Amino acid sequence: MGGEPALSFYSADRSSKVPKHIRPANKGCHLKIETSCRARLAVGALLLSSACVITDELGTEAGSSLRLDAASAYIHRGMVMNGDGVAQADLRTQVPVKSGGTVTLRGFANMDLSNSTAASGDETGWLPPGHAGKVSELDLSLAYEHQVERMLLGVGLISYVFPNGGEFPLTAGTFNGERGETKELFLRAQYDLDQVLPFIGVNLDFDEVYGEYISFGLSTRTYEPVEELELALTAQLSYSDARHSEWAYALPESGFSDARISADASYPLDEFTQVTAGLAYSTVVDSNLEEWFDFIGVESNNFWGAVGLRWSF
Q: Report the pLDDT value the prediction gives residue 234, as an integer from 0 to 100.
A: 97
- Is the predicted pLDDT of residue 280 greater than 80, yes or no? yes
Domain 32-312, CATH: 2.40.160.40
- The pLDDT-based confidence of 1 (bands split at 50, 70, 90) is very low
Bridge partners, residue 284, by sequence? 258
Q: Report the pLDDT value the prediction gives residue 30, as an integer from 0 to 100.
A: 38
Q: Report the pLDDT value the prediction gives residue 61, as an integer from 0 to 100.
A: 73
What DSSP character marks residue 166?
G
The residues, any chain, with a CB within 8 Å of residue 14's CB and separated by 6 or more, are none
Q: Report the pLDDT value the prediction gives residue 166, as an integer from 0 to 100.
A: 80
- CA–CA dist 38, 45 (Å, integer): 10
Bridge partners, residue 267, by sequence? 275
Least confident among 151-155, 156-160, 225-229, 285-289: 225-229
Q: Where are the domains of the chain?
A: 32-312
pLDDT in tens, 215-247: 999 999 888 888 999 999 999 999 999 999 999
Q: Which helix (H) or strand (E) holds 298?
A: none
Q: Which residue has the higher pLDDT, 180 or 155?
A: 155
Q: Report the pLDDT value the prediction gives residue 175, as an integer from 0 to 100.
A: 45
Cα–Cα–Cα angle for 272, 278, 279, rounded to 5 degrees: 175
Calculate the CA 282 to chain-centre distance: 13
Say how many Å lie between the first and final Cα of the chain, rounded: 38
Least confident among 88-102, 171-185, 250-264, 266-280: 171-185
User: CB of 101 within 8 A of CB of 62?
Assistant: no
User: CB of 130 within 8 A of CB of 6?
Assistant: yes
- CA–CA dist 258, 139 (Å, integer): 21
Q: Report the pLDDT value the prediction gives residue 125, as an integer from 0 to 100.
A: 86
Q: Report the pLDDT value the prediction gives residue 5, as an integer from 0 to 100.
A: 28
- CA–CA dist 238, 62 (Å, integer): 33
Cα–Cα–Cα angle for 215, 220, 226, rounded to 5 degrees: 145
- Is the predicted pLDDT of residue 56 greater than 90, yes or no? no
The residues, any chain, with a CB within 8 Å of residue 218's CB and separated by 6 or more, are 196, 197, 198, 199, 234, 235, 236
User: CB of 125 within 8 A of CB of 115?
Assistant: no
Mean pLDDT of the chain: 83
- Is the predicted pLDDT of residue 211 greater than 90, yes or no? yes
- CA–CA dist 141, 135 (Å, integer): 17
- The pLDDT-based confidence of 248 (bands split at 50, 70, 90) is very high
Strands (E), the chain: 63-71, 74-76, 79-82, 86-96, 102-112, 135-148, 151-161, 181-191, 196-205, 212-220, 223-226, 229-240, 255-268, 273-284, 301-312
Calculate the CA 20 to chain-centre distance: 29
pLDDT in tens, 157-208: 999 999 988 877 654 434 456 777 899 999 999 999 989 999 999 999 999 9
- CA–CA dist 277, 72 (Å, integer): 12
